[in-house]
């Protein structure tokens, strides 16, 4: 379109694009005046109900007469398209200003907000709701005047109720009010005030009161459910009165917000500029022309700098004095050598696992450290040592095996959660081992009592472990032992925990008793791990799996656990349908975001069987002609059937799923008919 002239307007450049269409910079040739043309997207211009509503709103917006609104000059319907002629604003957006500077100085933020509030108050008095207030729609002219733009989603409070629109989901998700997120139709002026509150919060804090990086669902949940921190949590110098009013404006319940823009202005009156500031000083004014206050004078700045340096020096000295310093001759670390007979005991210091004996550790000096040594066959020993200097700790377990204790990462030493408290008898002078309970997934009746300690030399048995499927990893008493099928001879008698693990299957654990001279068989059939499905749906949808309705009206996240396999997963929103065949892997979660409010750009081309391009082929969506190849179109999320054809060729029809994974360009192959 750039370079073309439409109805006396010569288009010079593209200013921006959005879901409603494209905005061009143009010259009114009759008046030699620069204007902006907002060209409606073809799919919207062809919707009779939307067009009727837009005509009504355009007429109302043209009557808005305030410097704070981008003026609508004309509404035109031409063969080239339907468009608005609007005032062209030289300047920048509030969004670009916030990206550049993050939080704004308090006075500047309030001066900007004062202008925004005045403009919206005028809009509301005329019976118009904006419904898409955000920093990108706030323009700041070179002269410092704020102008609100993009009323494409505006709603007329007095609009003819017989004029309806299917484009009911309105607003940019990060600045939506809770009632907009819920899709309520009775949103009023307080919905716009909520969006204004988010904008002021961002201007003051440099961030929104929620994490915008976690996706649209997380943002919507935060808007509807999660409490917002006061703006003073990010910027303590904001006056408490402003923080309280802002918290009220951002209430989830519209009834708790100010009813009108003028009520909000009255609540903030003491902190708004006494006279209109055309532009915050640091946006365009030089240092010489900017208003000066006593705290901005060179003398005051010098005094503040000196005070800051003195405070920093005092804090540094205080920190040095407060940090414990080693006494003369005292080392900053000591060495702890731990060895056991037999070796292989897990070592815990103050409840934390630090390795397996023999072990050498460097530790900071300490008065006392609790030490536990847990052996898979011979039980556990507990003691305490003083680490004022390097210590060599060498302990021996009794020769007689006791109940084994699992020493993998899930074992809990004495004195920590899950462990048993030490008794008075268990001291350094009397390190009596104590049996520990073993985990078991079976019933109590499946346990076998520990056999009596053997009195002869035959103190071992054998263990044979098999599994379905084969090749599973085997862990015996918390230590990796190999893969199935596995035979282990000369296993010390006693109770052992055997765990069998295989990727994609649920772990199986057994507690077995090894008897002198006996062979113990353990046979395990592993169950496949289930797979998980997680759909994030915007704004809402019915979810189907393999043609069966699973949930109606899901407006956040749908979750389901299924057996591994291939499924057809569908989401249906009003007249739109999204579907995909998904292969679910054991133990894995399949996730997808389905945003039916999104449009995706697609380039459509037509080629011959040999790959040569065929220009001017007609592109159809159902009965609607979208254009001619090569053609760029925009389609909503969902399943669509496109037909590309040209005289002399057989048409190519294809059903495609449009979402973030759709590849572009789409090539349609046309075959000659003669």
- What amino acid positions are annotated as catalytic residues? 132
Q: How far apart are CA 153 and CA 605, in angstroms?
A: 32
The distance between the two most distant Cα atoms of the chain, rounded to a whole number of Å, is 115
Is-contact 203 109, C-beta < 8 A? yes
Q: Strand pairing of 359-363 and 366-375? A: unpaired
DSSP-derived letter for residue 197 is H
Q: How far apart are CA 556 and CA 464, in angstroms?
A: 50
Q: How far apart are CA 571 and CA 575, in angstroms?
A: 11
Question: Looking at the DSSP assignment, which residues form a beta bridge with residue 561?
Answer: 532
The Cα-based distances of 608 to 100, 550, 617, 670 in angstroms read 49, 43, 11, 5
Is-contact 51 82, C-beta < 8 A? yes
3-class SS string, 303-318: HHHHHHHHHHHHHHHH
Is-contact 176 195, C-beta < 8 A? yes
Is-contact 468 538, C-beta < 8 A? no
Q: How far apart are CA 163 and CA 47, in angstroms?
A: 12
At CB < 8 A and 24+ separation, what contacts does 568-572 make?
569/533, 569/535, 569/543, 569/544, 569/545, 570/543, 570/544, 570/545, 571/535, 571/537, 571/541, 571/542, 571/543, 571/544, 571/596, 572/541, 572/542, 572/544
Is-contact 537 544, C-beta < 8 A? no
Is-contact 130 191, C-beta < 8 A? no
At CB < 8 A and 24+ separation, what contacts does 48-51 make?
49/163, 49/164, 49/165, 49/166, 50/165, 50/166, 50/167, 51/82
Strand residue runs (E) in 52-114: 72-78, 81-87, 91-93
Secondary structure (DSSP) of 102-131: SSPPHHHHHHHHHHHHHHHHHHHHTTEE--
Structure token digits, residue 421: 């408290």
H helix intervals, 251-404: 261-267, 281-284, 298-322
Q: Strand pairing of 391-396 and 479-483? A: unpaired
Q: How far apart are CA 70 and CA 61, in angstroms?
A: 9
């Amino acid at each position: 379109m750039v370079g073309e002239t439409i109805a006396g307007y010569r288009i010079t450049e593209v200013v921006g694009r959005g879901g409603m269409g494209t905005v061009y910079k143009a010259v009114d040739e009759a008046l030699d005046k620069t204007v902006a043309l907002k060209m409606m997207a073809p799919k919207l211009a062809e919707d009779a109900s939307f067009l009727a509503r837009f005509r009504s709103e355009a007429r109302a917006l043209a009557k808005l007469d305030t410097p704070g609104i981008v003026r609508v000059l004309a509404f035109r319907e031409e063969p080239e398209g339907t468009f608005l002629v609007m005032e062209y604003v030289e300047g920048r957006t509030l969004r670009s200003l916030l990206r550049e500077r993050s939080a704004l100085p308090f006075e500047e933020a309030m001066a900007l907000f004062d202008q925004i509030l005045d403009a919206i108050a005028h809009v509301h008095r005329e019976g118009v709701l904006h419904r898409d207030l955000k920093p990108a729609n706030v323009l700041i002219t070179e002269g410092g005047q704020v102008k609100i733009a993009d009323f494409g989603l505006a709603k007329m409070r007095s609009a003819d109720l017989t004029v309806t629109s299917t484009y009911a989901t309105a607003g940019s998700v990060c600045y939506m009010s809770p009632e907009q997120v819920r899709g309520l139709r009775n949103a009023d002026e307080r919905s716009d005030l909520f969006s204004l509150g988010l904008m002021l919060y961002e201007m003051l804090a440099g961030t929104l009161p929620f994490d915008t990086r976690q996706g649209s669902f997380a943002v919507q949940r935060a808007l509807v459910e999660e409490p917002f921190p006061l703006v003073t949590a990010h910027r303590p110098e904001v006056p408490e009165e402003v923080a309280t009013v802002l918290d009220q404006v951002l209430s989830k319940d519209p009834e708790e917000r100010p009813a009108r823009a003028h009520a909000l202005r009255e609540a903030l009156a003491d902190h708004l500029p006494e006279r209109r500031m055309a532009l915050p000083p640091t946006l365009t004014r030089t240092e010489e022309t900017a208003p000066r206050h006593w705290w901005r004078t060179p003398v005051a700045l010098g005094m503040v700098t000196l005070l800051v340096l003195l405070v920093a020096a005092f804090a540094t000295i205080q920190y040095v004095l407060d940090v414990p310093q080693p006494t003369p001759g005292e080392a900053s670390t000591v060495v702890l050598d731990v060895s056991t007979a037999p070796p292989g005991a897990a070592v815990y210091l103050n409840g934390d696992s630090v390795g397996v004996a023999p072990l050498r550790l460097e530790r900071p000096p300490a008065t006392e450290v609790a030490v536990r040594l847990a052996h898979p066959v011979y039980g556990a020993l507990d003691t305490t040592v003083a680490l004022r200097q390097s210590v060599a700790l060498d302990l021996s377990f009794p020769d007689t095996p006791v109940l084994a204790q699992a020493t993998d990462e899930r074992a809990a030493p004495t004195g920590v959660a899950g462990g048993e408290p030490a008794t008075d008898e268990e001291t350094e002078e009397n390190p009596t081992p104590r049996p520990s309970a073993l985990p078991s997934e079976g019933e109590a009746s499946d346990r076998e009592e520990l056999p009596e300690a053997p009195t002869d030399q035959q103190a071992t048995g054998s263990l044979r472990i098999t599994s379905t499927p084969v090749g599973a990893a085997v862990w015996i008493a918390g230590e990796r032992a190999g893969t199935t099928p596995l035979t282990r001879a000369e296993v010390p008698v006693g109770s052992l925990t055997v765990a069998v693990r295989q990727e994609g299957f649920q772990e199986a654990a057994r507690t077995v008793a090894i008897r002198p001279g006996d062979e113990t068989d353990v046979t395990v059939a592993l169950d496949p791990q289930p797979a998980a499905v997680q759909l994030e749906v915007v704004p809402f949808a019915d979810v189907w799996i393999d043609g069966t309705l699973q949930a109606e009206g899901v407006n956040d996240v749908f979750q389901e656990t299924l057996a591994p396999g291939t499924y057809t997963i569908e989401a249906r929103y009003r007249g739109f349908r999204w579907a995909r065949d998904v292969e679910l892997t054991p133990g894995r979660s399949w996730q997808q975001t389905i945003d039916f409010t999104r449009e995706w750009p697609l380039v459509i081309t037509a080629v011959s069987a040999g790959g040569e391009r065929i220009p001017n082929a007609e592109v159809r969506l159902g009965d609607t002609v979208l254009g001619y190849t090569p053609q760029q179109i925009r389609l909503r999320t969902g399943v669509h059937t496109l037909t590309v054809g040209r005289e002399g060729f057989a048409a190519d029809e294809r059903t495609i799923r449009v979402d973030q994974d759709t590849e572009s360009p789409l090539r349609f192959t046309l075959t000659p008919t003669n």
